[in-house]
Amino acid sequence: MTLLSAPVETVSTGRLQISDLPRLARRHPLVVIGGSLLALMIVLALAAPLYAGDPLNMDPFKRLQPASAEMWFGSDNLGRDVFARTVFGARISLIVGLTSAAGAALGGLLIGVLAGYSRGFDSIAMRVMDGLMSIPTILLAIALISLTGPGVGILIVAISIVQLPSVTRLVRSVVMSVRERPYVEAALCGGARLPKVLWRHILPSTIPALMVQSAIVCADAILTEAGLSFLGVGVPPDIPSWGNMISSSRLYLAIAPLTIFAPGICLAVMVLAVNLLGDGLRDLFDPRSKRRR
């Protein structure tokens, strides 16, 4: 669901200095809240083996136990520790979210810059993007995954492809507006070669918008991964992921609601953190948007 992919306009922010940071943090609390929440989740996920039990260990005698001192979130239908699974599940969400966002951002940047600069390439690339955008994201991801069967690798590739059009369009629109600016013409007239102009003068101006869009893509990717895993076509069932956990526990909602709500709430908090970060970055780079919203 690309609900958040509203067009982002940016103005250049000038050079940032360390001494500006406290002032910026006060003025943009969303970046701080979203960023620290996300950082906390990354640390908790990385440090999982230090404090959580084995997420894969099954204990048939302790099936669907309520929360206890031993197992904080109780156990699932196979007697596995829900707390450990929830903590380890964060890893998959983060890996898929961050790498898909990076993949879509890099791919979109490359195609977007080329399309913004070359008319011939533009017309082909944009028709391809129009086509990609016309297939609902979940269906397109499902179709791509169906080629090889579920797996983390194909999942990341599929989500990156699905998210490619929004990034490409954004980068293209920025490049098209920047390339007419006098300083770009000046650089070209001064004898700079096109690749150098693209790298030194055009690429940097796409960064603010790209960062905001990457956050939106990352939130979307985390949701898509969870949705696909919930449908049984995402992460293979032997890897603990929030979507898998919810899917395998759905029959036990009445008996052990924590098996669903623990990963569900973590998922919502993680996506919220990334969305807040994205909203905050948008305000930071484009002060006008704050008044408009």
Partner 1 sequence: MTAYILRRIVSTIAVMVMVGIFVFLLLRLAPGDPAAIIAGKSATAEMIAGIRERLGLNDPMPVQFIRWVGDMLSGDFGTSIFAGRPVLELIAQRLEPTISLSIVTMILSVTVGVSFGILAAWRAGGLVDRILTAFATLGFSVPVFVIGFFLIYLFAISAHWLPVQGYKPIGQGLGPWFVHLILPTLTLSLAYIAFIARIARASMLEVLSEDYMRTAAAKGASSYAMLFHHALKNAGAPILTVIGLSFAGLIGGVVITETVFNIPGVGRLVVDAINNRDYPIIQGVLILVSGLYVLINLAVDLSYTLVDPRIRY
Nearer to partner 1, 103 or 150 (CB): 150
The residue count of the chain comes to 293
Give residues with Cβ within 8 angstroms of 83, minimum separation 6: 52, 53, 71, 72, 73, 262
Nearer to partner 1, 115 or 187 (CB): 115
Closest CB 184 distance from partner 1, rounded Å: 30
Distance CA 45, CA 95 (A): 10
Residue 193, C-beta contacts closer than 8 angstroms, at least 6 positions apart: none
Shortest Å, Cβ 227 to partner 1: 5
Q: At closest approach, how far in Å is the CB of 265 from partner 1?
A: 7
CB nearer to partner 1: pick between 155 and 197 = 155
Q: Please give the structure tokens belonging to residue 107.
A: 């791919």
Residue 14 zone, left/alpha/beta (φ > 0; ψ -120 to 50; rest): left
Question: Which residue's CB is nearer to partner 1, number 123 or number 177?
Answer: 123
Which is closer to partner 1, CB of 155 or CB of 184?
Answer: 155
Residue 81 forms beta bridges with which residues?
Answer: 75
Residues of 231-270 as b/e, b for ≥16 C-beta within 10 angstroms?
eebbbeeebbbbbbbbbbbeebeeebebbbbbbbebbeeb
Minimum Å distance from CB 262 to partner 1?
11
Helices (H), the chain: 21-27, 29-46, 48-51, 82-117, 119-134, 137-148, 152-178, 182-189, 194-197, 203-231, 242-249, 258-285, 287-292
User: Judged by CB, which is closer to partner 1: 117, or 252?
Assistant: 252
What are the angstrom distances between the C-alpha of 257 and each of 63, 155, 248, 261, 264? 13, 28, 12, 6, 10
Minimum distance between the CB of residue 271 and partner 1, rounded to whole angstroms? 4
Retrieve residue 265's tokens.
């709430």
**Closer by beta carbon to partner 1, 27 or else 192:** 27
- Return the CA Rg of the chain: 22
Q: Closest CB to partner 1 among 206 and 213?
A: 213
Q: How far is Cα of residue 72 from the mean position of the Cα atoms in its chain?
A: 29
In whole angstroms, how close is the CB of 201 to partner 1 at the nearest point? 32
Contact residues: partner 1, CB under 8 A: 1-4, 127-128, 130-140, 142-148, 219, 223, 226-227, 230-233, 246, 250, 253-254, 257, 260-261, 264-265, 267-268, 271-272, 275-276, 279, 292-293
Q: Minimum CB separation from partner 1 for residue 36, in Å? A: 16
CB of 110 to partner 1, least distance (A): 20
